Structure 1
């Protein structure tokens, strides 16, 4: 249907009532989606657009677009997910498996023919004629096409797997996919390990012929594109990977169950999750802490157990969410017991401390790193050291007569101690100390011009020492010096701005934490953003500060003032007086 570009008739923002109807329709059509999933797909406040389009054959289609990606399309009052949605929720539709070489035909408008369907060990999915279904390729469970079953499963088997299997409506690399951000399919490992013979992977002449026969035009004979090559694993690469594993013994632990290639990123992140999970229970969590909030367990315990040089990111695992990972640890491994003690808030209520996996786990001896970087501004190989900040004063034209005797001209930079010394020497040299009370200094014409206001000329005849010093410094221009270890000191005019932390509201009343002025203290904003993103598992954003050429604003999702303060105070060792906004941290037990 979307093999060729479509024509957009209208593009509008969905109304509130239509938004609720859409959410209800999706919930009824795809009951496996949770309430949280529905809120992510059809959020209450974020902009959701509705496009009325005409396909190249004249079919009227409604497309729902969120964050510039099409998420659902509606045809003849039936709603279908796009591949972008299926990559996030791959199990909401029954799926038929095919070979990667067939994908090019599907994107060109062909239907999936039954000879091209790979039958897994558990058999074909049970569908009736007209049921919505997806198409995947071998060794990757991420759907690459959406359509309807041409016949029921029983008829497919009765036809000896000959004829049309799935009528394709939308596929990866078609015009509907190209309407989005054009990202490729993720790697989602199959639920069951399958081995494929070489002749099955390299044949497919009959498959491609039947797929091409279902297209509108002439059969396509071009070889698969580069995108298809990324989806398939050639036999030569598989054999080469095996030889490398045999030759290098230290890679044996990284082999997959089939032994033909290194573990996928999902498998690596899954293994890291389990490792940090067991390490946290073994060495961080105490019985007295139970029940323990699952979010606290992740933030305060699991992240701190992540090995140095690695980053724990649940979204890059096959679980995607902490709740699903802990559910697996509870139901399949029986290590912990998780309960929802209050609505929407899960806690670990019990740990099987005698579990064999937990008892046999030995925490690694290698150094652990929480998540804080060691990058200094412009010196990525050096650990960060806070600058030594010195308050300085510059001689102004008005005060030049006062400093003339000390050879300090206009623009000379002095420390507070040097200012006091110069003023003291001037007073003693001119014998201005009051004989009756040595706590006072008599005012001469030079001090009068330099330190007194006009209305004080006739009224003030003497000043206390402290008042004399404070008036002198008040009439000097402030500046400050930054001294980083191993670097030349830098002197800048004005008062040093503190690191400013604030909390703002964005769309749908979501909170974000903002930080600026990090560069003044030699801190790389990108490094801080990455560290906080790792700590709190929230998205971050860097943007220029309005009205400034060289300042960057760091934005992190949620009220993260407490974590920002901990990072700046504990790791970067910035004095508290140079941090503004720490009082805006979220109060315990309250949501802001």
Structure 2
């Protein structure tokens, strides 16, 4: 169904209520799935992409992040192979041979003679329902390679039906659906859970290995039971605790023994039995454990540091104070979220600080402004010792060029010409041939050399007499053209390509003209405006880093949406001037690739 390219008709984000309805529909179509909460987080962004297939059929694709997870066809919701890689037993999987996969990828359906029904692989055939979703995997890998509609039921298989179609294939690995992903996926390796263990040791039946494991487990459990019974018999005189010494006596001289008994699980015993040379002890490494950050302390630290900033000029609006100052003092690796504090809102936090005498705020028609700050307050003197941990993090993250060095910027853009069939006669006597790439200056030089060598110039004027080759290339009936017009028209007939090099020596190339960074605004539900930016990733810009910077500088939410031409970036609010200035000053994007840069860069705002 997705073997040929499809057209995207719409791309809309689902609301929370629509996600809940989708989960209920999934449960109806896939009754064997009972844990909806593990499928996807209801708070995560999810889009529905309506596409028109090559056959004219309209299909809804549900995209979680940038991964298509389900699609709706004829009022039935089918899982994609990408979600089945995470939940292999979401639907029944028909097992086939590797030789059949080529036929499935070319559009054929899975026939019953190609299905393997064996106790090693076959699951519960009662899960098979006619007309319901089913998957296809191989006998060597449980990862699904195709999804379709089951053409028979479990009763048909139990009755011995062996001829006909088993699955009508709708979606396969490597089809056009994977173009919605950020990168080309690789087929994972998933072992069949109920497959028998092969006899790789050459010691007879492989079941003897399992029996040895079972006997070891039984003997261990018997030993542990006897040990527990002995301990319980003398429990009045024995106290257990965890410690670093094997045996020690209480300092009060009571003579009660304090013994630490290491607990060994059954899995560890079996692992040591099976691979005695590969087992290792697990040590606690407390140095690598990041302590949980107190959001109240982090918010107060950023607020106090901002109030002492030399760049702070009062009065200042509370929202600008938060976006320009407080967010800039967040230590590296941490994230400030006012909603997770006890205040819940910045206004409540500022009011509490005013009660303590730290600052003075004014509330005019619901808009708060900080009018003055008391820098001699005792809270500023205690701040250094109270928030010493944040100071260390801030010091280690500032003063080093790590952020700027890790930022991938644009270094060079090269636009070149490609010799196509139309202009190839002009380059017949040159080292270049059809399909070669050459810069514009070299193309101009070859054109001028050809005109002079063939004697087509007019000494009395700056015109060129057209010969049959030049006339065919330009497609004109004129016999004479000026130099400039001739060169420009020949270059316009040639194909183009571009190469972009970033600061990390990453090369991005493409055919055609250099894509432009399109910046526009749109209105969403509730009369809310959003700024839409396209083609950012084509210039090597990391969308995650770009979104994080916009969130901190504009104090606005951002999101990305997959489109047929790439990934679309959106930020809440109208911020054309800021986006233009950010691209030019931070990422070295030339102004010529941003249409209307002069108009959009006027009145720029925000912290770049």
Give me the TM-score of the superposition, normalised by structure 2: 0.47
